[in-house]
Amino acid sequence: MPKALVKKVKHCRVCEGKNLKRFLSLGNMPSVNNFLTAYQLNKPEHKFPLNVCYCGNCGMVELEEVVSPKYMFTNYVYISSFSKTMLGHFEDLALSLIKRFKLDSDTLVVEVGSNDGTLLKFFKTAGVPVLGIDPAKNLVKVANDAGIETWGDFFSAKLSKRVVKDKGLASVIIGTNVFAHIDNLDDVLRGLDIALSEDGVFVVEFPYLLNLVEGLQFDTIYHEHLSYFALKPLMHLFSRFGFEMFDVQRIPVHGGSIRIFVGRSKAKRTPSKSLKELLDLEENVGLYDLRTLKKFASGVKTIKKDLRRLLIALRKSGKRVAGFGAPAKGNILLNYCEIDNRLLSYVTDNIPYKQGLYTPGTHLQVFPEEKIIKDKPDYLLLLPWNFKDEILNKLTDFRRAGGRIIVPVPRVEVI
């Protein structure tokens, strides 16, 4: 393993405490978005340890190792606009923020990790000026070509100064599914302090630790996701920089996420009822108790055991099983459960970038979804289980013809 690409975390990212306790180890994992060409299959593959720990000081859950962001994010393959569920979600988000915070042509919306510009497009259409920031060069080009001004960079205090100089202060800064990717949160908070107007709002969405733990969503743990947030540790983080959370919404995307609203403490907003309720819920379900996290870890081992047992039985009885979808999380599941071409024939995905390539670590070839129609496998292992309803609809014909679907999370189930 190349040492320069990975570093061990020395202290908690949120409180800087050193009381970190490991509760889950998923073994050595490749970078989940690093799909391979046929040529690369015979070359050594980078793998990095994937261990999760709990901060005994502030309750934060985070990875023990950080893989270099330059290695992971400069050619990112997750494209927002390829999922119908996400398109609808982004449209709702944009329209609700425009209404709630009275955004118009005199305000500025900045999105951190703006991907291909899918979310910002909805603001722009409504006449609100926008700026996207994303380090993935391939996506920056797609966004700019579509008329969404996007800078190819990581969000930081330094970058914020440039934003203010060129565009003025932002009324709203948004980050969806990006906050967990950031190692240096202090620098982001300093950046917010620079770029956000006095009564500006930081809106962040991320998969919620409570859903992760309750839903045994271990496959959402990967190197790109350095942090697994709940409310209490975040309050700690924001208060260090003169910010505070004033509202929270639970949202159904990515297996259960939350959207938090953060403003300057001096704006003195009244915290919402839902914020207080969710903080109480976190305490009541034992989210800050190491025993809860250890129970989660043992549930993860059960999924591996059950899924392998099922796939081995299917192979023995001559059934053909393919993977449906090749999302990042699927690569965690496949690698952790040691599912390679002896148990799964191939995987399919509708993102053209991935087609013809091979899954990292497990080396399954990625085909377009149409392959299923011609090939008629007996079973499909559903890897993007967070889009289960959307996909089950799409697979109506497959199921009518007798095809079965294996859902691996939160428990192995055949439907």
Which positions lie near Zn ion, rule CB under 5 A? 12, 14-15, 17, 55, 57-58, 60
In b/e form, how buried is each residue of 224-249, taking b as 16+ CB within 10 angstroms? bbbbbbbbbbbbbbbeebebbbbbbb
Nearer to Zn ion, 55 or 136 (CB): 55
**CA pair distance 113, 180, nearest whole angstrom:** 11
**CA pair distance 55, 20, nearest whole angstrom:** 5
Nearer to Zn ion, 60 or 381 (CB): 60
Angle between helices 84-100 and 118-125 (to 10 degrees): 40
Nearer to Zn ion, 3 or 8 (CB): 8
At 380, list the tokens. Answer: 């499909």
Asked if residues 382 and 315 have their Cβ atoms less than 8 Å apart, the reply is: no
Which helix H or strand E contains 67, and what residues bound it?
A: strand 65-67
C-beta of 54: minimal distance to Zn ion in Å? Answer: 9
C-beta of 176: minimal distance to Zn ion in Å? Answer: 24
Cα separation values, 384 from 220, 250, 324, 326, 334, Å:
10, 20, 8, 7, 12
Nearer to Zn ion, 229 or 398 (CB): 229
**CA pair distance 117, 253, nearest whole angstrom:** 18
Nearer to Zn ion, 221 or 366 (CB): 221
C-beta of 53: minimal distance to Zn ion in Å? Answer: 10
Nearer to Zn ion, 59 or 200 (CB): 59
C-beta of 253: minimal distance to Zn ion in Å? Answer: 27
**CA pair distance 1, 60, nearest whole angstrom:** 27
C-beta of 14: minimal distance to Zn ion in Å? Answer: 5
C-beta of 58: minimal distance to Zn ion in Å? Answer: 3
